[in-house]
Amino acid sequence: MKTNDVILQTTSKVVFFIIILFAIHLFFAGHYHPGGGFVGGLMTSGALVLLLLAFDIKTVAKGFPIDYKILIGIGLLFAIGTAAGALVFNVPFFTHVFGDVYLPIFGETSLHTAMLFDLGVYLVVIGVTMTIIQTIGESE
Amino acid sequence: MKQMINLLVLPLLIPLVTAALLIFLPKSIRVQRAVSVVSAIGTLAASIVLLLTVKDNGIQTVNVGSWDAPFGITLVSDTLSALLVTTSSLITLSVILYSFRSIGEARERFYYYPIVQFLLVGVNGAFTTGDIFNLFVFFEVMLMASYVLIVIGGTKIQLRESIKYILVNVISSALFVIAVAMLYSVVGSLNMADISQRIAQIGSLPILTVIAVLFLIVFGLKGAIFPLYFWLPGSYYAPPVPVLALFGSLLTKVGVYSILRSYSLFFYHDQAFTHELLGILAIITIIVGCIGAIAYWDVKKIIIYNIIIAVGVLTFGISVATEESYMGTVFYTIHDMIVKAALFLLIGVMIKITGTNDLRKMGGLMKKYPLLGWTFLVAAFALAGIPPLSGFVGKLLIVRGGLAEGAYVGSLIVLLSSLVVLYSVIKIFMNGFWKAPKDYPGEENQPVLSLWAPGALLVLASILYGVGAEVMYPIISQATDALVHPAIYIDAVLKE
């Protein structure tokens, strides 16, 4: 008899978005509250793992056609780029800049280049976690 | 042009960016090779410029993120670390060139070149950092890369030895964290210059001696001193020759450098205990290495045990702790890194030609490969320390320093160990290159010349280093100054 996962799959689809939103919240909260790139990235991969549990590797790979190893490379470049940007201005390596910027919808927002570094961490964490899980899952 | 303040970051940044870029193109081997070589040359050039800058303008520091020392991480490049960074960049360049024709496509497709770059990031970072926890992080970068390099390819022996290697290093890393935690709880700082200053203020508390010994255990496990060397002969035997050359010349030296740095900068207050202990362990390390180097008929094993001998000689130089012996240690470290890498690459060519590691099955290579033979002989003489070559000056200074301090037994053993070293490498030469020529199946297909060239490049560097000792002398003596007088280092970092 073929098992039917309809309840698991339907709830996963809904819960997936809640987890993703929470992960993004954690990622952006990092500067002033607990959170940041690492836990945000882990939470995002957690959401993807939930989909992997509810569906199978091929379906998820079809939904998210991402090569996670490439994601690691992109994340690393983001992090290194943020740090190495200092070289252009001849200030010490890793010097960050920040400022309050007026954005149309958000209003007065403080932006900090540390966020770009965090984005790098976020991408690397997702890339590494998903690479590990997919590689182990696919190997016979 | 305004002086570039981030110069000392470049030997870390170039390989790091390269490694990240190479992740994107694992399948196109040609691009991987080309980018690797270009970046290795770039790293070498940057480190040479750095060395010249440090030589002319004194110790270079950069406070990462513009946070002043001791609150941020400070990267410090004194002459010693600039020398070591230059040497490791040179060695990595040769090993990458050697890998083209030897490592095999399967490994090259599987992120071999990016991992080599990550290893270089870890090694150069460990030599450059001025923060004890950052040193730990760079150790881990280096070790993670070495875990991959030891297992990449996935043969049975590699799998078995990588488990041992990882187990030993995970334990030693945990001990490292514990040691840093203890040091932090006593002095309350992680910046190495600041730690040194605070230790000098509180004087010689017994707990600091305990921490010193704990650090010795940690760095001794990385650098393979007796009785913590047990993992090395097996683990280094497993990976292919270019990886072995990287490990043998760089990894243990990072451990030795850390001992040198911590014992000259922090723990010089209770020398009667700590340096005495280091001296005894160094002597036993030399003896153990000598026994191994004589015992084996396997070319890889012989050179692997020579690593242990060299680590013993270097730690003996550190334990004597005079200006002369420090100078000898610095001289010998750089010589040993270059010449070990050269020897590994050259025996790699012998193994490729003959298809065996066993010396008793080799013979008569001189007839067909005279160039290889003479290069090997020069490298062998340099390793043993025969005068105009590079091993001589370092060992001479170490022995003289030892005799001046009354460490007669140690100095004598260092001298006798040279005989053993000479015997062990000449055994390779006599059995491998002399005797009746044999035919080896498949030897015509081996790219002997292109494998020989990187090894020869290193031998050439070693000859120049030995003959040009006069030129190197002021640079090395500048490197020693900061070791003998920690105040130079502290002032450069804390800018007081």
Asked if residues B431 and B359 have their Cβ atoms less than 8 Å apart, the reply is: yes
Is position A1 within any domain?
Answer: no
Q: Which amino acid is at B191?
A: N
How close, in Å, is residue A138 to chain B by CA atoms? 17
ipTM for this prediction:
0.92
Query: With b meaning 16 or more CB within 10 Å and e meaning fewer, what string describes A103-126?
Result: eeeeeeeeeebbbbbbbbbbbbbb
Residue B97 scores a pLDDT above 90: yes
The tens digit of pLDDT for each residue in B458-492 reads: 999 999 999 988 899 999 999 999 899 999 999 99
Residue B1 scores a pLDDT above 60: no
Asked if residues B360 and B353 have their Cβ atoms less than 8 Å apart, the reply is: no
Residue B104's pLDDT band, with cuts at 50, 70 and 90, is confident
Q: Which contiguous run of DSSP H or E holds residue B19?
A: helix B10-22
Is position A113 within any domain?
Answer: yes
Q: What are phi and psi of A98, to 5 degrees?
A: -150, 165
Mean pLDDT score, A119-126: 95
Asked if residues B309 and B418 have their Cβ atoms less than 8 Å apart, the reply is: no
Residue A26 scores a pLDDT above 60: yes
Is position A104 within any domain?
Answer: yes
B13, B19, B65: residue with CB nearest A95: B65
Q: What is the pLDDT of residue B3?
A: 65
The tens digit of pLDDT for each residue in B298-320 reads: 999 999 999 999 999 999 999 99
Q: Which domain holds residue A64?
A: 6-138
Please give the radius of gyration of chain B, using alpha carbons only, rounded to the nearest integer. Answer: 21
To test the contact with chain B by mutation, choose from A67, A72, A88, A93 the residue with the greatest count of B C-beta atoms within 10 A, namely A93
Number of neighbouring beta carbons within 10 Å of residue B88: 29
Q: What is the pLDDT of residue A33?
A: 92
Is position A50 within any domain?
Answer: yes
Structural domains counted in chain A:
1
The tens digit of pLDDT for each residue in B26-43 reads: 889 999 999 999 999 999
Asked if residues B41 and B93 have their Cβ atoms less than 8 Å apart, the reply is: yes
Is position A68 within any domain?
Answer: yes
Residue A140 scores a pLDDT above 80: no
**Strand locations in B36-165, DSSP E?**
60-63, 74-77
Structure tokens at B91: 């060695």
How close, in Å, is residue A3 to chain B by CA atoms? 38
A73, A87, A92: residue with CB nearest B65: A92
Whats the size of chain A, residue-wise? 140
Q: How far is C-alpha B134 from the chain's CA centre?
A: 19
Q: Cβ separation of B20 and A87 shorter than 8 Å?
A: no
Percent of chain A past pLDDT 90, that is, above it, reads 58
Is position A31 within any domain?
Answer: yes
Distance CA B378, CA B360 (A): 22
Number of neighbouring beta carbons within 10 Å of residue B195: 23
3-state secondary structure of A104: coil
Mean pLDDT score, B50-72: 91
Residue B203 scores a pLDDT above 80: no
Is position A132 within any domain?
Answer: yes
- pTM: predicted TM-score of the whole model, two decimal places: 0.95
To test the contact with chain A by mutation, choose from B7, B23, B144 the residue with the greatest count of A C-beta atoms within 10 A, namely B23
Distance CA B321, CA B262 (A): 12
Single out the residue of B167, B110, B115 nearest to residue B146, CA to CA. Answer: B115
Number of neighbouring beta carbons within 10 Å of residue B100: 17
Distances in Å between the Cα of B241 and the Cα atoms of B142, B260, B299, B407 are: 18, 28, 11, 37
Contacts of A69 in chain B (CB under 8 A): 23, 26
Is position A118 within any domain?
Answer: yes
**Contacts for B471 with CB less than 8 Å, ≥ 6 apart:** none
**Least confident piece of the model among A99-108, B25-34, B242-251:** A99-108
A80, A90, A92: residue with CB nearest B2: A90
Distance CA B52, CA B62 (A): 17
B384, B317, B300, B429 alpha-carbon torsion, rounded to 10°: 0
The tens digit of pLDDT for each residue in B291-302 reads: 999 999 999 999
Distances in Å between the Cα of B225 and the Cα atoms of B5, B6, B233, B420 are: 38, 35, 12, 18
